Amino acid sequence: MGQGLKKLTIGNLTLWRRQDIRQKELKEKDQGLLQQTEVISYIILEEAEYKLRDTISSKEKEVVELKQVLEEEPLGKELTVLRSQFNEIQKENKELSDKLSKMKIEYLRSLTSNTDSAASRVIRRMSFEIDDCKFHLEAMTRPDYQPLVDNKTIIEKLQERITLMNMELITEREHTEKIIKDIKDHLKEIEEKKQREKKQKNEEEMCRIYLCCNHPVTGELINSFLEVHKDELLPTVLDKAYEVQYF
Protein backbone atom coordinates (compact mmCIF):
# COMPACT_ATOMS: atom_id res chain seq x y z
CA MET A 1 0.00 0.00 0.00
CA GLY A 2 2.82 2.37 0.71
CA GLN A 3 4.39 1.74 -2.68
CA GLY A 4 1.04 2.32 -4.43
CA LEU A 5 0.55 5.67 -2.70
CA LYS A 6 4.08 6.68 -3.60
CA LYS A 7 3.49 5.88 -7.28
CA LEU A 8 0.20 7.83 -7.29
CA THR A 9 1.84 10.83 -5.70
CA ILE A 10 4.71 10.86 -8.20
CA GLY A 11 2.26 10.54 -11.13
CA ASN A 12 0.11 13.42 -9.88
CA LEU A 13 3.21 15.56 -9.42
CA THR A 14 4.40 14.78 -12.95
CA LEU A 15 0.98 15.64 -14.41
CA TRP A 16 0.78 18.85 -12.43
CA ARG A 17 4.22 19.90 -13.60
CA ARG A 18 3.25 19.30 -17.24
CA GLN A 19 0.07 21.34 -16.86
CA ASP A 20 2.01 24.15 -15.21
CA ILE A 21 4.55 24.24 -18.09
CA ARG A 22 1.72 24.25 -20.65
CA GLN A 23 -0.01 27.14 -18.92
CA LYS A 24 3.25 29.12 -18.81
CA GLU A 25 3.80 28.56 -22.56
CA LEU A 26 0.25 29.73 -23.37
CA LYS A 27 0.64 32.73 -21.10
CA GLU A 28 3.94 33.73 -22.76
CA LYS A 29 2.35 33.33 -26.21
CA ASP A 30 -0.63 35.50 -25.23
CA GLN A 31 1.73 38.14 -23.87
CA GLY A 32 3.71 38.14 -27.18
CA LEU A 33 0.54 38.58 -29.24
CA LEU A 34 -0.62 41.35 -26.93
CA GLN A 35 2.70 43.20 -27.29
CA GLN A 36 2.58 42.84 -31.11
CA THR A 37 -0.99 44.16 -31.17
CA GLU A 38 0.01 47.11 -29.02
CA VAL A 39 2.92 47.96 -31.36
CA ILE A 40 0.64 47.87 -34.47
CA SER A 41 -1.97 50.00 -32.74
CA TYR A 42 0.69 52.53 -31.77
CA ILE A 43 1.94 52.77 -35.38
CA ILE A 44 -1.61 53.25 -36.71
CA LEU A 45 -2.28 55.95 -34.12
CA GLU A 46 0.95 57.77 -35.05
CA GLU A 47 0.06 57.74 -38.76
CA ALA A 48 -3.45 58.99 -38.05
CA GLU A 49 -2.07 61.74 -35.82
CA TYR A 50 0.43 62.82 -38.52
CA LYS A 51 -2.26 62.99 -41.21
CA LEU A 52 -4.58 64.92 -38.89
CA ARG A 53 -1.84 67.44 -38.08
CA ASP A 54 -1.03 67.85 -41.79
CA THR A 55 -4.70 68.47 -42.62
CA ILE A 56 -5.05 71.00 -39.79
CA SER A 57 -1.89 72.82 -40.96
CA SER A 58 -3.10 73.07 -44.57
CA LYS A 59 -6.51 74.35 -43.44
CA GLU A 60 -4.84 76.97 -41.26
CA LYS A 61 -2.76 78.15 -44.25
CA GLU A 62 -5.89 78.44 -46.39
CA VAL A 63 -7.61 80.49 -43.69
CA VAL A 64 -4.61 82.82 -43.42
CA GLU A 65 -4.43 83.31 -47.22
CA LEU A 66 -8.17 84.00 -47.38
CA LYS A 67 -7.87 86.57 -44.59
CA GLN A 68 -4.99 88.28 -46.46
CA VAL A 69 -7.02 88.47 -49.66
CA LEU A 70 -10.00 89.92 -47.80
CA GLU A 71 -7.81 92.44 -46.01
CA GLU A 72 -5.91 93.57 -49.15
CA GLU A 73 -8.88 94.62 -51.33
CA PRO A 74 -12.65 94.39 -50.91
CA LEU A 75 -14.47 92.13 -53.34
CA GLY A 76 -17.09 94.78 -54.06
CA LYS A 77 -14.52 97.18 -55.48
CA GLU A 78 -13.03 94.51 -57.74
CA LEU A 79 -16.49 93.56 -59.03
CA THR A 80 -17.23 97.21 -59.78
CA VAL A 81 -14.03 97.56 -61.82
CA LEU A 82 -14.75 94.37 -63.76
CA ARG A 83 -18.32 95.47 -64.44
CA SER A 84 -17.08 98.83 -65.75
CA GLN A 85 -14.57 97.15 -68.05
CA PHE A 86 -17.25 94.79 -69.33
CA ASN A 87 -19.57 97.71 -70.12
CA GLU A 88 -16.79 99.49 -72.05
CA ILE A 89 -16.00 96.37 -74.07
CA GLN A 90 -19.70 95.84 -74.82
CA LYS A 91 -20.00 99.46 -75.97
CA GLU A 92 -16.97 99.11 -78.30
CA ASN A 93 -18.39 95.89 -79.76
CA LYS A 94 -21.70 97.65 -80.49
CA GLU A 95 -19.89 100.54 -82.22
CA LEU A 96 -17.86 98.14 -84.34
CA SER A 97 -21.00 96.19 -85.26
CA ASP A 98 -22.80 99.39 -86.34
CA LYS A 99 -19.77 100.48 -88.36
CA LEU A 100 -19.60 97.09 -90.10
CA SER A 101 -23.32 97.27 -90.96
CA LYS A 102 -22.85 100.73 -92.52
CA MET A 103 -19.87 99.49 -94.54
CA LYS A 104 -21.95 96.55 -95.85
CA ILE A 105 -24.77 98.88 -96.90
CA GLU A 106 -22.35 101.26 -98.69
CA TYR A 107 -20.70 98.31 -100.43
CA LEU A 108 -24.03 96.98 -101.70
CA ARG A 109 -25.01 100.44 -102.93
CA SER A 110 -21.73 100.76 -104.82
CA LEU A 111 -22.37 97.38 -106.47
CA THR A 112 -25.87 98.30 -107.62
CA SER A 113 -24.95 101.80 -108.89
CA ASN A 114 -23.57 100.48 -112.20
CA THR A 115 -26.24 98.43 -114.00
CA ASP A 116 -23.81 97.08 -116.62
CA SER A 117 -21.23 95.81 -114.13
CA ALA A 118 -20.61 92.18 -113.31
CA ALA A 119 -21.90 92.80 -109.79
CA SER A 120 -25.27 93.96 -111.10
CA ARG A 121 -25.55 90.91 -113.33
CA VAL A 122 -24.79 88.60 -110.43
CA ILE A 123 -27.28 90.42 -108.18
CA ARG A 124 -30.01 90.20 -110.85
CA ARG A 125 -29.34 86.50 -111.24
CA MET A 126 -29.53 86.06 -107.47
CA SER A 127 -32.83 87.98 -107.39
CA PHE A 128 -34.30 85.70 -110.08
CA GLU A 129 -33.24 82.62 -108.15
CA ILE A 130 -34.64 84.02 -104.88
CA ASP A 131 -37.96 84.77 -106.59
CA ASP A 132 -38.01 81.26 -107.98
CA CYS A 133 -37.40 79.79 -104.53
CA LYS A 134 -40.12 82.01 -103.06
CA PHE A 135 -42.53 80.72 -105.71
CA HIS A 136 -41.74 77.12 -104.79
CA LEU A 137 -42.05 77.87 -101.09
CA GLU A 138 -45.45 79.48 -101.62
CA ALA A 139 -46.55 76.47 -103.68
CA MET A 140 -45.55 74.16 -100.85
CA THR A 141 -48.14 75.79 -98.58
CA ARG A 142 -51.00 74.72 -100.84
CA PRO A 143 -53.11 71.78 -99.64
CA ASP A 144 -52.82 69.94 -102.98
CA TYR A 145 -49.01 70.19 -103.05
CA GLN A 146 -46.84 67.64 -101.30
CA PRO A 147 -43.17 68.67 -101.56
CA LEU A 148 -40.47 66.06 -101.79
CA VAL A 149 -37.85 68.38 -100.28
CA ASP A 150 -38.09 69.99 -96.87
CA ASN A 151 -38.30 73.79 -96.70
CA LYS A 152 -35.26 73.94 -94.48
CA THR A 153 -33.16 72.08 -97.05
CA ILE A 154 -34.19 74.51 -99.80
CA ILE A 155 -33.34 77.51 -97.63
CA GLU A 156 -29.93 76.03 -96.78
CA LYS A 157 -29.21 75.40 -100.46
CA LEU A 158 -30.27 78.95 -101.28
CA GLN A 159 -27.94 80.35 -98.63
CA GLU A 160 -25.08 78.23 -99.99
CA ARG A 161 -25.73 79.49 -103.52
CA ILE A 162 -25.85 83.09 -102.33
CA THR A 163 -22.55 82.60 -100.49
CA LEU A 164 -20.92 81.07 -103.56
CA MET A 165 -22.21 83.92 -105.74
CA ASN A 166 -20.80 86.49 -103.34
CA MET A 167 -17.44 84.73 -103.49
CA GLU A 168 -17.60 84.64 -107.30
CA LEU A 169 -18.51 88.33 -107.33
CA ILE A 170 -15.55 89.25 -105.14
CA THR A 171 -13.19 87.10 -107.22
CA GLU A 172 -14.47 88.59 -110.50
CA ARG A 173 -14.16 92.10 -109.13
CA GLU A 174 -10.57 91.52 -108.02
CA HIS A 175 -9.76 90.00 -111.42
CA THR A 176 -11.34 92.98 -113.23
CA GLU A 177 -9.40 95.46 -111.10
CA LYS A 178 -6.18 93.60 -111.84
CA ILE A 179 -6.90 93.65 -115.61
CA ILE A 180 -7.65 97.39 -115.50
CA LYS A 181 -4.44 98.05 -113.60
CA ASP A 182 -2.41 95.96 -116.06
CA ILE A 183 -3.95 97.83 -119.00
CA LYS A 184 -3.17 101.21 -117.45
CA ASP A 185 0.39 100.17 -116.73
CA HIS A 186 0.80 98.87 -120.27
CA LEU A 187 -0.60 102.08 -121.79
CA LYS A 188 1.66 104.17 -119.61
CA GLU A 189 4.65 102.11 -120.63
CA ILE A 190 3.73 102.48 -124.31
CA GLU A 191 3.33 106.26 -123.94
CA GLU A 192 6.68 106.58 -122.20
CA LYS A 193 8.30 104.50 -124.90
CA LYS A 194 6.79 106.74 -127.61
CA GLN A 195 8.04 109.84 -125.84
CA ARG A 196 11.53 108.41 -125.61
CA GLU A 197 11.53 107.39 -129.25
CA LYS A 198 10.22 110.79 -130.29
CA LYS A 199 12.84 112.59 -128.26
CA GLN A 200 15.56 110.36 -129.61
CA LYS A 201 14.35 110.87 -133.15
CA ASN A 202 14.28 114.63 -132.71
CA GLU A 203 17.79 114.59 -131.31
CA GLU A 204 18.97 112.54 -134.26
CA GLU A 205 17.32 114.91 -136.76
CA MET A 206 18.74 118.06 -135.16
CA CYS A 207 21.93 119.65 -136.37
CA ARG A 208 24.22 121.79 -134.22
CA ILE A 209 25.97 124.66 -136.03
CA TYR A 210 28.90 126.62 -134.65
CA LEU A 211 28.58 130.35 -135.30
CA CYS A 212 31.54 132.78 -135.21
CA CYS A 213 31.63 136.43 -136.35
CA ASN A 214 32.77 139.95 -135.36
CA HIS A 215 30.38 142.42 -133.95
CA PRO A 216 29.67 145.12 -136.57
CA VAL A 217 30.09 147.99 -134.09
CA THR A 218 32.55 146.87 -131.42
CA GLY A 219 34.44 144.38 -133.56
CA GLU A 220 34.32 141.87 -130.72
CA LEU A 221 34.47 138.17 -131.65
CA ILE A 222 31.14 136.44 -130.91
CA ASN A 223 30.86 132.63 -130.59
CA SER A 224 27.60 130.67 -130.24
CA PHE A 225 25.81 127.47 -131.23
CA LEU A 226 22.61 127.02 -133.18
CA GLU A 227 20.48 123.88 -133.25
CA VAL A 228 18.21 123.45 -136.27
CA HIS A 229 16.32 120.63 -137.93
CA LYS A 230 18.09 118.98 -140.79
CA ASP A 231 15.08 119.52 -143.10
CA GLU A 232 14.92 123.29 -142.56
CA LEU A 233 15.69 125.49 -145.55
CA LEU A 234 18.88 127.53 -145.76
CA PRO A 235 17.21 130.98 -145.63
CA THR A 236 15.39 130.04 -142.45
CA VAL A 237 18.64 128.79 -140.92
CA LEU A 238 20.43 132.00 -141.85
CA ASP A 239 17.66 134.10 -140.28
CA LYS A 240 17.92 132.13 -137.05
CA ALA A 241 21.71 132.45 -137.06
CA TYR A 242 21.44 136.22 -137.52
CA GLU A 243 18.98 136.45 -134.60
CA VAL A 244 21.23 134.39 -132.34
CA GLN A 245 24.33 136.40 -133.14
CA TYR A 246 23.00 139.97 -133.03
CA PHE A 247 20.05 139.91 -130.68
b/e string for 76-108 if b means 16 or more Cβ within 10 A? eeeeeeeeeeeeeeeeeeeeeeeeeeeeeeeee
Q: How far is CA 243 from CA 18, 105, 217, 226, 240, in A?
A: 167, 69, 16, 10, 5
In this prediction, residue 210 has a pLDDT band, given cuts at 50, 70 and 90, of confident
Q: Where are the domains of the chain?
A: 42-72, 73-113, 206-246
pLDDT at 24 over 60: yes
Query: pLDDT by residue (tens digit) across 81-113?
Result: 667 777 777 777 677 667 666 666 665 566 556
- Tell me the pTM: 0.28
Report whether pLDDT(2) > 50. no
> Does residue 228 have a pLDDT over 70?
yes
| Per-residue pLDDT reduced to its tens digit, 110-158 | 655 655 655 566 666 666 776 676 666 666 555 555 554 556 676 777 7
* pLDDT for the residue 6: 42
User: How confident is the model over 153-205, as pLDDT tens digits?
Assistant: 767 777 788 888 888 888 888 888 888 888 888 888 888 888 888 888 777 77
